[in-house]
Amino acid sequence: MNSAPASPMNVPAGAERATIAAGCFWGVEHMYRKAFANKGLLDARVGYIGGDTDSPSYRAVCSGRTGHAEALQVIYDPEKLSYRTILEFFYKMHDPTTANRQGPDVGSQYRSGIFYHNEAQEKEARSITEQVNQHWWKGGVVTEVLPAGEWWDAETYHQLYLDKNPSGYECPSHFLRSFPPLAP
């Protein structure tokens, strides 16, 4: 098993970055890659964000003592895939009403979070969160909306984990829910 960090992502000119946490990052990455392949997703990487330890390891993050969330960072073409679409998918593919938990996975590393990279993303994240809280999740959303801060790539063996291990663990709360469209 390769425990080295993954190589840095290539971010082409004009591309944007979105960072979300929705429980076990293997399933989150797998769902985003499947849904948005050839539809504006340029790259995706699992890693750690929101903690207070430099260069955290998977084992340290799983202990719950680093403060990091398991997260997904998406590089996307905003001409083909909107930030709004990324966030709406986020709120459909996991349960944002459980604090520090997704299905059987319990701990702060499994919290629901949107980590914005600029003021426009913050505004959009807060607006979408308010709408889905009211219309889809009936006031139960506990998702954090925070500035992105330091990102740490997860170890290489975590990248594309479910592609490499098709029968690997998938959180049972990761599935696409059907909700009515939100107002623009």
DSSP, res 157 = G
Instruction: Report the DSSP beta bridge partners of residue 116.
Output: 147
- Count Cα neighbours of 82 within 13 Å in the Cβ-side half-sphere: 8
| Angle, CA of 161, 103 and 169, to the nearest 5° | 25
Kindly list the distances between the CA atom of residue 123 and the CA atoms of 52, 128, 133, 153, 164, in Å, as whole numbers in the listed order: 25, 9, 15, 26, 36
Question: What type of residue sits at position 125?
Answer: A
Regarding beta strands 112-116 and 41-49, do their DSSP bridges make them parallel or antiparallel, or are they unpaired? unpaired
* Whole-number pLDDT of residue 6: 58
> What is the pLDDT at residue 7?
63
Q: How far is CA 183 from the centre of its chain?
A: 23
Catalytic residue among 24, 69, 114, 128: 24
Does residue 171 have an active-site annotation? no
Give the pLDDT of residue 8: 67
* Closest to 46 in 3D by CA, of 11, 24, 69, 71: 71
The pLDDT of residue 2: 45
pLDDT in tens, the chain (184 residues): 444 555 667 788 999 999 999 999 999 999 999 999 999 999 999 999 999 999 999 999 999 999 999 999 999 999 999 999 999 999 999 999 999 999 999 999 999 999 999 999 999 999 999 999 999 999 999 999 999 999 999 999 999 999 999 988 989 999 999 999 998 8
How far apart are the C-alpha atoms of 97 and 67, rounded to whole Å?
19
